[in-house]
Amino acid sequence: MAAQLAGKRALISGGASGIGAATALLFARQGAAVAILDLDEERGARLARTITSEGGRAIFIPGDASRAEDCARAVQQTVEHFGGLDILFNNVGITRRATVQDLSEADWDRVMEVNVKSVFLLSKYAIPHLIRSGGGAIVNNASGWGLVGGQRAVVYCASKGAVVNLTRAMALDHAAQNIRVNCICPGDTDTPMLRDEARQLNQSEANFLAEAADRPLGRLGKPEEIAQAVLFLASDAASYITGAVLAVDGGGTAR
């Protein structure tokens, strides 16, 4: 079978670990040149080396996706290195588990900056290059908790709900430019961020993960499974899909 992303150029935020890393590997194996934007320089550089050692094309760009200057630089370096840009995966995200009463203003601001402002900034700088490429695809990583509420997760739910409706608004604004904008809403997926939530809630990791797996399919998601959904929305297989919100959650939001 032909590579689904042959000749495409992609930028992935939060690409050094978890869903971002799995997507970077999958994109590269499907023929895309991949730029990885992340604060974790060790993991990001190692992943880029892994991709190139497999015969793919990848660069690592250290930076904070909530900062305008870092986003502009990441987009520019991607375009300069690969000759253009076709796909943006707004993946970076963090969480702070707390109620409104317990959450600090600083934590509220930081989660909103990383989870929502990064989507705005990277899209702002990427869209002119997608237009120059004749169109392209933006995939935003929201969450099942962008569709339903969750306990002790107010800022995460608020931020991911914002990403869901930001996706729809962007899809309307840029359809005429042949830019498709969609989002995925993963359920609990076995990533470093999920395991960190157990620490934030002062729960044992084993018990926390067992509770997270309580969904119709009876298990956690794997980063590689979420990456397959991103690949679909980024590829020509989804050429007539824009403004879509795809739950990839083992049936968690079906209840």
Catalytic residue numbers read: 156
Residue located via tokens 């590689």 = 224
Q: Which residues pair with 180 in a beta bridge?
A: 137
Residue 112: which of 98, 93, 125 has the closest Cα? 93
The separation between CA 109 and the C-alpha centre of its own chain, rounded to angstroms, equals: 19
Cα torsion 127, 129, 132, 136: sign: negative
Q: Which among 235, 243, 37, 68 is positioned nearest to 140, based on CA atoms?
A: 243
Cα 96 vs. chain centroid, distance in angstroms? 18
